[in-house]
């Protein structure tokens, strides 16, 4: 009888421990979810800051480095998602400004080229009948001296940063706590079932 009562006390202690560590597991799980949400929100905030900076023509390099560092050091910080654009980070404002600058460069060079070609051909070109050769000379001069727009590779202004599977932050540490408390809960649950089995039989 004494042995049975002792087993019953052990059985009850194990059951209490099951509930205690199950509660700790649930609490850690809640903290983990909160940490994951905070990580995601932090990444979105820095992404929006980057896009706004890019659109305004501000310090894109600093904003991009902040976002990169944050994503690389926090789990659950992917930008875009499976249904979003790829790559998810596109500095459209920077790219458009470079394209516009290149167009302006070419236009500035070519604006005065026709008059230069006329002057050159009047002095150096054979006019021919009705000035036909002069037109050929002007076209040739423009072809040889005119600026041509260079293609700007947009891939240099597109980025995709991948977050780690685990990171040493609130989400990461609470995930470890979930795993540890789950194992402890399982251990005490098995101990409870084993003790209960020996008490009953």
Residue 53 lies in a domain: no
Give the separation between CA 175 and CA 30, rounded to whole angstroms.
10
- Burial class of residue 71 (count of CB atoms within 10 Å of its CB; 0-12, 13-18, 19+): buried
Alpha helices for 57-131 (secondary structure H): 60-73, 92-111, 113-124
Give the global pTM: 0.77
The structural domain count of the chain equals 1
Residue 20 lies in a domain: no
Q: Which domain does 140 fall in, by range?
A: 102-159
Residue 8 lies in a domain: no
Taking only the tens place, the pLDDT of each residue in 13-69 is: 878 899 999 999 999 999 999 999 999 999 999 999 999 999 999 999 999 999 999
Residue 107 lies in a domain: yes
Residue 86 lies in a domain: no
């Amino acid at each position: 009888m004494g042995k049975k009562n002792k087993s019953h006390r052990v059985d009850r202690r194990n059951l209490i421990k099951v509930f205690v560590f199950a509660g700790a597991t649930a609490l850690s799980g809640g903290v983990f979810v909160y940490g994951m949400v905070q990580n995601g929100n932090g990444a979105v905030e820095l992404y929006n800051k980057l896009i706004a900076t890019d659109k305004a023509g501000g310090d894109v390099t600093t904003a991009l480095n902040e976002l990169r560092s944050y994503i690389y050091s926090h789990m659950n910080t992917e930008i875009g998602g499976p249904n979003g654009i790829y790559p998810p980070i596109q500095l459209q404002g920077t790219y458009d400004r470079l394209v516009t600058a290149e167009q302006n460069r070419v236009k500035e060079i070519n604006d005065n080229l026709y008059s230069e070609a006329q002057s050159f051909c009047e002095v150096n070109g054979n006019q021919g009948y009705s000035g036909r050769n002069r037109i050929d000379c002007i076209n040739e001069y423009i072809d040889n001296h005119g600026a041509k727009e260079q293609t700007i590779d947009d891939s240099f202004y597109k980025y995709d940063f991948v977050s780690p599977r685990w990171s040493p932050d609130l989400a990461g540490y609470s995930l470890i706590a979930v795993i540890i408390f789950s194992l402890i809960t399982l251990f005490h649950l098995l101990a409870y079932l084993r003790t209960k089995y020996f008490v009953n039989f």
